[in-house]
Amino acid sequence: MKREQVFEFFRRLAEANPSPTTELESGNPFQLLVAVVLSAQATDASVNIACRPLFERIRTPRQMVDFGEDDLRDAIKTIGLFNTKAKNVIALSRALIDRFGGEVPRTREELQSLPGVGRKTANVILGNAYGINEGVTVDTHVGRLSRRLDFTREDDPVKVERDLMALIPREDWALISHLLIFHGRQVCVARRPRCEACVLSDICPSAFKVP
């Protein structure tokens, strides 16, 4: 697909959603990192519900370590895989204290060295906490819509990200993820895409043909 065609897709998505951002609630980079780690295989809404009272008292890695794994486990028990996630959050908090002076690092390599942090999480933190476009965040929505819109034919998230990075200007990488995620949740849903309400329906290669 040509860049001019891709630009038209995102121009329309941006008009429909002019101020896209992550739905995860946080007050600083550390809280965002915790929220993203907790959001794996969980909804943003469920993470926000659990994290609102937690983040009222926990703003730093030191406070999280002092809070402790048992209390954290109890605070996030409504979120899937809460046992493993509690271990990872405490471990990454200790790592931030020991290796980064309590600050969330600003490189993907350093972020991925933290427990429970992979490429997708690192991209979210860099793009949303620091405005650094190091890559494109590819979750299930971004991957699914990228295939439906014919931006890629790949299934592997890293390969999907590679194809998107080749099509989209670097300064728009974080924005693109937000636009696709929002559209995937609100309009181009997995099982019953709402093509009749879609701003892309007249140019989408999958419009009215998705099973």
* Chain centroid offset of residue 194 CA: 23
- 77, 45 Cβ separation under 8 angstroms: no
> And the tokens for 170?
């670097």
Active site annotation includes 202: no
Question: Which of 139, 150, 163, 172 is flagged as catalytic?
Answer: 139
CA gap 79, 73 in Å, rounded: 10
HSE-up (13 A, CA, CB side) for residue 181 = 20
Q: Is 139 an active-site residue?
A: yes
Residues forming the active site: 120, 139
